[in-house]
Amino acid sequence: MTKTVNQKAWLLVLPVFGIVAFSALLPLMTVVNYSVQDSFGNNQFFWNGIGWFQELLDPSSQLGERFFDALWRNLLFSAIILLIEVPLGISVALSMPRQGWTVAFCLVVMALPLLIPWNVVGTIWQVFGRGDIGLLGYAINRLGIDYNYTASPLAAWTTIVVMDVWHWTSLVALLCYAGLKSIPDAYYQAARIDGASPWAVFRTIQLPKMRRVLLIAVLLRFMDSFMIYTEPFVLTGGGPGNATTFLSIDLVKLALGQFDLGKAAAMSLVYNLIILATCWVFYTIMANVDAEHRPAGAAQDGAAETGAAAPSRTRVEADRRAT
Amino acid sequence: MARITLDHLAHSYAPEPRGPADYAVKEIDHVWEQGGAYALLGPSGCGKTTLLNIISGLVIPTHGRILFDDRDVTALPTEARNIAQVFQFPVVYDTMTVAENLAFPLKNRRVPRDVIAARTKEIAGLLGLERAVGRKARNLTADAKQKISLGRGLVRSDVAAILFDEPLTVIDPHLKWQLRSTLKELHRRLNVTMIYVTHDQTEALTFADKVVVMHDGAVVQMGTPEELFERPAHTFVGHFIGSPGMNVVPAEVEGATARIDGHAIHLRQSYPKLPERQRVEIGVRPEFAHLRPKGAGIPVQVRRIDDLGRGRIARVELAGRPLCASVAEGAVGIEGGEAALAFDLGQVHVYVDGCLVAGVPLAGPAP
């Protein structure tokens, strides 16, 4: 059988090309365009080649120093967030009830912080942490500890970390809980018969079975914390000084505060590439984990379903804020 | 190694059981002898898994006691009972190798390292897993995983009994036979009590020395496969065991004469005092009911004849009731669907309200 060539089919695909070009390609190309030019306003542009990129990636230049400071700050923040939220999320999931009406109650309570808009979270904590009218700030100061997130970098960091933990730990916990629920009872019974301690049950059954959902949780939390903007912007505005100026805050300062469009465009492209690269690494790891499992042919393995759904989900979540 | 005694055991999942209908396992008095191969056979939901979980300690019974030899273990948790269990779905620890899986129960019990190594090697050899010891357990096939589950029970030298909860459910049919013969072989060599739960009569009858048939939470018969086949103690056992199951027909029994639909059968035993106003039935297996030409027995209508490979089974109708009968080799000579049934009289049993009634041997030679 020979396939007939039908060029008219291109017409049917054309609208998709049009929409994608308009929604993704053109805005992106604008940024690329800015990143290789300099502008002094009046819509006058001068060719600058890779000059902005060279300056950005050179730590000895003013722009480079500023960029790398924000980058390390941001990486440190993501690391702290992951180190707290992942173990905390796992332990919350482990201590959640497995049946009865309390399950629904716990799930609703856990989901509540996830439903609050980012800037509202920032506002809540801004008020909550104030020394004069905020319950938290007032209480800490009354305990004799000097706490003022607008003056002390340590206090500002602590507040942002606690706020993020409060906001997002439930996401990790809910994902882990789903992973735990998919473990058949027979595993726990077999472990009891084998005389396994609770720690051994966690190490040999629960953690391995949660591995895939944990990967997703880590990916989501890394991405979100690496791109964090609204909450610290509302809470501290990047201060005191530059103490909480994360990459996205710095980018906005550069682009909208100083109107350095060329530098800002170069920075957003590098920023985007870092995120894409991380996404790709995670995606590869997850694909490998799945591939390792496939020869087992264990269709009865309840966790397999969660794993299969994983890649598409992460892509969607990552794209949501990367572009 | 132990004898397991179930002493007036009963279990209900309802917090306050009222009537017998609330009980998942009705009162059972039973002894599992050390070294026996037992099968617990029954349809889904008859309480066999509950009974198994009571023995393994995953469920604490509502009433009664469980004794291992003379030790009361009713309240003891699973890990203190020296029980091993193989589940319906293979349970292996994903991150460990086969050898680590086998060593896991010993490691948890703080057995010295060299003993663990020796024991693991021995059991891997017994199960034919020597080649796989270094491999990750999760990459193995379902039957190898079931062997590992079994191996985790066998490594413990003190294990009192190994319980199997429908262990061949997820195994490919051609491997079922292999695994089952491995089980039999191990049972012969290791002299360990094995209790095997299944709803598949072939599995039960080929595996076990003694089969316990359960129905609706109660044990209806316990016996060797032959006993279950030849003398079903309950019409349920007759139906459930055998393929096709036993023919059960209402009859009037007086002394040594049974009447089905007005046709008299002369039994080998006499039933002088059958209780009145209760359901009286006679049961005969298709293997002992023979299709004959018209006039050579009780007249029946032949509906169809199925070839089962190992023999032919006739589906017949007697006064509107479907029965099965075996068909001898060669032609039978049936005209227009009219035929007759002849029974092996020694294999005809009388049931009152579903239970087998013992007859009195006839004094003189059978008429």
**In the CATH scheme, what is the homologous superfamily, with its name and number, of domain B4-233?**
P-loop containing nucleotide triphosphate hydrolases (3.40.50.300)
Tell me the C-alpha distance between A228 and A76, whole Å.
13
Do B104 and A204 count as a contact with CB atoms less than 8 A apart?
yes
B260 in Cβ contact with B298 (< 8 Å): yes
What crossing angle do the helices spanning A153-181 and A303-322 adopt, rounded to 10°? 150
pLDDT value at B118 more than 80: yes
Per DSSP, what are the bridge partners of residue B340? B292, B299
Rg (CA), chain A: 24
Using the Cβ of A199 and the Cβ atoms of chain B, whether some distance falls under 8 Å is answered with no
Tokens, residue B364: 């003189």
Q: Where in chain B do CATH 2.40.50.140 domains reside? A: 247-361
Tell me the C-alpha distance between A83 and A54, whole Å.
33
Tell me the C-alpha distance between B272 and B216, whole Å.
31
pLDDT value at B323 more than 60: yes
- pLDDT score of A84: 94
DSSP string over B59-117: S--SEEEEEETTEE-TT--GGGS-EEEE-SS----TTSBHHHHHHHHHHHTT--HHHHH
- Chunk chain A into consecutive blocks of 10 residues (it has 323) and report each block's average pLDDT, rounded to whole numbers: 76 90 88 82 77 81 85 92 94 88 90 90 88 86 84 88 92 92 87 86 88 88 89 84 85 82 86 89 79 47 38 39 38
Using the Cβ of B175 and the Cβ atoms of chain A, whether some distance falls under 8 Å is answered with no
Indicate the helix (H) or strand (E) that contains B218: strand B218-223
Q: Where in chain B do CATH 3.40.50.300 domains reside? A: 4-233
Share of chain B above pLDDT 70, in %: 96
Tell me the C-alpha distance between A181 and A306, whole Å.
11
Sign of CA dihedral B247, B249, B255, B259: negative
pLDDT value at B289 more than 70: yes
Query: Nearest to residue A283, comparing CAs of A307, A311, A320?
Result: A311
Beta carbon pairs, A and B, within 8 Å: 63
Rg (CA), chain B: 25
Question: Domain A59-322 has what CATH class?
Answer: mainly alpha
Contacts of B4 (CB under 8 A, 6+ apart): B31, B32, B55, B66, B67, B68, B160, B161, B193
CA distance A104 to chain B (A): 24
pLDDT value at B79 more than 50: yes
Tell me the C-alpha distance between A152 and A73, whole Å.
16
Per DSSP, what are the bridge partners of residue B97? B136
Task: Indicate the pLDDT class of residue B193, thresholds 50, 70 and 90.
Answer: confident
Prediction pTM value? 0.72
- pLDDT score of B332: 62
pLDDT value at B296 more than 80: no
Do B108 and A195 count as a contact with CB atoms less than 8 A apart?
yes
Instruction: Give residue-wise pLDDT tens across range B244-283.
Output: 888 888 888 887 888 887 788 888 888 877 777 778 888 8
- pLDDT score of A250: 87
A97 in Cβ contact with A173 (< 8 Å): no
Using the Cβ of A15 and the Cβ atoms of chain B, whether some distance falls under 8 Å is answered with no
Chain B residues 106-125 within an 8 A CB cutoff of chain A: 108-109
- pLDDT score of B335: 62
Using the Cβ of B140 and the Cβ atoms of chain A, whether some distance falls under 8 Å is answered with yes
Average pLDDT, chain B: 83
Query: Nearest to residue B214, comparing CAs of B222, B202, B205, B223?
Result: B222
CA distance B235 to chain A (A): 34
Using the Cβ of B50 and the Cβ atoms of chain A, whether some distance falls under 8 Å is answered with no
Chain B residues within 8 A of A205 when measuring between CB atoms = 93
Instruction: Give residue-wise pLDDT tens across range B94-114.
Output: 888 888 888 888 888 888 888
pLDDT value at B290 more than 90: no
DSSP SS3 for B255: strand
Instruction: Give residue-wise pLDDT tens across range B13-71.
Output: 877 777 777 788 888 888 888 888 888 888 887 888 888 888 888 888 888 888 888 88
B31 φ, ψ (degrees, to nearest 5): -125, 125
Architecture of the domain whose range is B247-361: Beta Barrel (2.40)
Query: Nearest to residue B80, comparing CAs of B91, B72, B89?
Result: B72
Do A197 and B96 count as a contact with CB atoms less than 8 A apart?
no
pLDDT value at B367 more than 50: no
A320 in Cβ contact with A223 (< 8 Å): no
DSSP B130: G
- pLDDT score of A319: 40
Contacts of A39 (CB under 8 A, 6+ apart): A45, A46, A261, A262
